[in-house]
Amino acid sequence: MQKNKIIRQALPLVPAMLLAGCAGLSQSPAHLEPAFWKGEPPDALVSRNGRKIDSAAAWMEIRRPELLHLFSTTVYGKPLPVPEGIEFRVLERDDNALGGKAIRIQGDILCKGIDQPNPFRLLLYLPKNAGGPVPVFLGLNFQGNHSTTFDPAVLIPEWNPKPRPRGNRADRYDLDLLLDAGYGLATIHTADIEPDRPDSWKTGVRRAYLADGVQKKDDPGTISTWAWGLSRGLDALLTIPEVDPDRVIVWGHSRLGKTSLWAAATDPRFAAAVSNDSGCGGASLTRHIVRDGKSETLRKIIEVFPHWFALNLSDYIDREEALPVDQHELLALVAPRPVYVASAESDVWADPEGEFLAAREASKVYRLFGRAGIPEEAPMPKLHEPVGEGIGYHIRAGEHSVHSFDWAAFVDFMNANLPPKK
């Protein structure tokens, strides 16, 4: 990767059908904080033994398995085994939800053959009268399914004695936009799968898989466990006739954006992936560090959230240059399936420039599959100016959150890059 050479050239724009409604937003240049590099990121198209990867077949047969192994053992931990099967137990269905606009389905996911502390409760909204199976965005939520909507019919889990207020995070989910665009939205609470705590490997679903109750250095962290839970959510969605099985998109914000990318990397059944403000350990290059301590680094993230990753990752604290991988290669693991990366200008902690550079560098892999990606050496796009084909990116004004602009960009990108199969 050429770190300092930036040449301005035309960028392919994401078709902007829904974004036409956001025409009043500024398209001024994004403000970027000064940054430095901790070593050269590895070339995604050169294998560990120095072989140049110059075809889609070589990527799938040689480099992708190699990178998947490195991320599994070094960064996130080895994925949990696939269970013997799942049972999706429907608890409630309303074909006239949200004032007759949607179908709402709520149900519990039960994994066969494991000691599951809680069922994974799935909340799904589908557009009514769609005329056929619809694409669905599937993601986890931080504070309970009921926090994603003000819908009074959404169930609050019995195991939670102090649930967050209903609709507490509804501002992050533009459900009307999605339903009007013909998309469904599905979500599961992270804590159903595993709590976000350092000791969660002892109490969450991982405990069923860790031999003798001992955590090894390449055992899965919480992110890998959540990603496994997203795959179980996909298992459930695939039992619902109204869901298009070829267009389930895994998405996430912040730590759950990290999770969505790893879920897509480890489960090829996901048709596409979206990362929103996922930062360090997600879409941002680990070796790209904003000056004056303004961005998250390996040291900072592992000191606060050691349980998110494999224990092996701590060996690279302050030694980012020694890592055998970087996050552009995580994005590339999704190829040739579409992947979209979104940043926020004020979210310096997540390093928007590092996220853009990762998407641009991963584009080299997408070009092996005939997807244009983001042009090599292209500059950071202006605010509210989505770019890329096959792999897309935008940066918007504002803070670490999810806005209607983001959802409109996700839908426009998927409409262009993930059409229904004929």
Cβ proximity of 5 and 263 under 8 Å:
no
Contact 339, 273 (CB under 8 A): yes
Any long-range contacts for 158-163 (C-beta under 8 Å, 24+ apart)?
Answer: 159/118, 160/191
Catalytic residue among 147, 224, 231, 254: 254
Is 254 considered catalytic here? yes
Does residue 336 have a cis bond before it (omega within 30 degrees)?
yes
Rounded-to-integer distance, Cα 6 and Cα 32, Å: 14
Query: Which has the closest alpha carbon to 405: 356, 344, 350, 347?
Result: 344
Which parts of 235-358 are beta strand (E)? 243-253, 272-276, 288-290, 339-344
For the CA atoms of 244, 59, 331, 80, the dihedral, rounded to the nearest 10 degrees, stands at 70
Query: From CA 302, how far away is CA 286, in angstroms rounded?
Result: 13
Q: CA–CA separation, 170 vs 404, rounded Å? A: 11
Question: Which residue matches tokens 């590099």?
Answer: 37
Q: Which of 314, 346, 400, 401 is catalytic?
A: 400
Q: Which two tokens stand for residue 308?
A: 């998110």
Phi/psi region, residue 169 (left: phi>0; alpha: psi -120 to 50; beta: rest), is alpha
363 in active site:
no
What gap in Å lies between CA 146 and CA 152, rounded to an integer?
Answer: 8
Q: For residue 62, what is the DSSP state? A: I
Q: Would you give the distance in Å from CA 106 to the centre of its chain?
A: 23
Tokens at 54, concatenated? 């110059």
Q: Which stretches does DSSP call E strand in 53-101?
A: 86-96
Are 332 and 283 a contacting pair, CB within 8 Å? no
Which residue, among 95, 97, 94, 92, has the nearest Cα to 108 in the 3D structure?
Answer: 92
So which residues are the catalytic ones?
A: 254, 400
